Amino acid sequence: MPRSNAHATAGEEEYLQSLFWLHEAGLPLTAANLGRAMRLSAPTVSEMVGRLERDGYITRDGDRTIHFTDSGRADAQLIVSRHRLIERFLTDVVGVPWDDVHEEAERLEHAMTPRFEAYVRASVGDADTCPHGHPIRVGERIQGVPLADCEVGARITVLRLENEAEDLLHHLMSQRVHPGLGAVVTAKDTELITIAPQAGGEPTSLTISVAETVSVTAEPSPPPRTALPEQLVLGQGRYGR
Ligand SMILES: [Zn+2]
């Protein structure tokens, strides 16, 4: 189907980013998974998926599985890479805290000319990832395991915060969990997992659903997997659909 729009709208770009994340993570591209990834309801997602199909970014199978069109994938890749680059620029150069940067980048990227983007690229040097651990050059994603799958006694290094929802990032920041953190799993039950930073300092506890969104490398390591919890329980109260 020919593309009817030269540029994705801001709303379409957010969906394309989340769809591309599902694709990178090897998860099925379905409206249900998109809803989980974006913390949005099924009707909201289904309307936008229809729009993306109409505008030629995606097609859908008989069983409703979503596929990128060639041009849709290329556009999504560009959008994702640019978003992660701006996030890195905003944290490293401008000094925006990493738990605030996702929303700021969303706004900034729509106002950026190619000329300014070249300056941004030069200013972050050879940074490989966004501040949440996602590769700027797509295709360079390192496979991880969910922190939630790790055993007591495992040594872990945080690789990536898979879900960049604002509340979740604020929560992880407040718990001092960030890419590059080295820690040991010291306790785990059906609700909570506790890790103690290798550098010392207070241990921190996360709910299992939050720990599912934190990808790590671990020793010993459970099988590789990217989790997509249906609902995020941050602590008290529930967050999500
Ligand atoms: Zn990011």
Q: How far is the CA of 62 from the centre of ligand 1 (A)?
A: 33
- Domains defined along the chain, listed by start: 1-142 (1.10.10.10), 145-223 (2.30.30.90)
Residue 102 has pLDDT above 90, yes or no: no
pLDDT tens string 51-86: 999 999 999 998 889 999 999 999 999 999 999 999
pTM as predicted: 0.91
> What would you report as the CA-atom Rg of the chain, rounded to the nearest whole angstrom?
18
Q: Indicate the pLDDT class of residue 186, thresholds 50, 70 and 90.
A: very high
Cβ pair 182, 148 in contact under 8 A: no
For tokens 């490398």, the residue is: 217
Q: How far is the CA of 22 from the centre of ligand 1 (A)?
A: 14
Other residues' Cβ atoms within 10 Å of the Cβ of residue 104:
16
DSSP string of 145-160, one letter each residue: EEGGGPPTT-EEEEEE
pLDDT (average), residues 201-213: 96
pLDDT (average), residues 106-114: 84
Q: How far is the CA of 72 from the centre of ligand 1 (A)?
A: 21
Torsion of CA 126, 109, 20, 163, to 10 degrees: 80
Which residues place a Cβ less than 5 A from the ion ligand 1? 87, 130, 132
Task: Find the DSSP H helices in the chain.
Answer: 10-25, 31-38, 42-54, 70-89, 101-108, 114-123, 166-174, 208-212
Q: How far is the CA of 130 from the centre of ligand 1 (A)?
A: 5
Tokens in use for 149? 């799958």
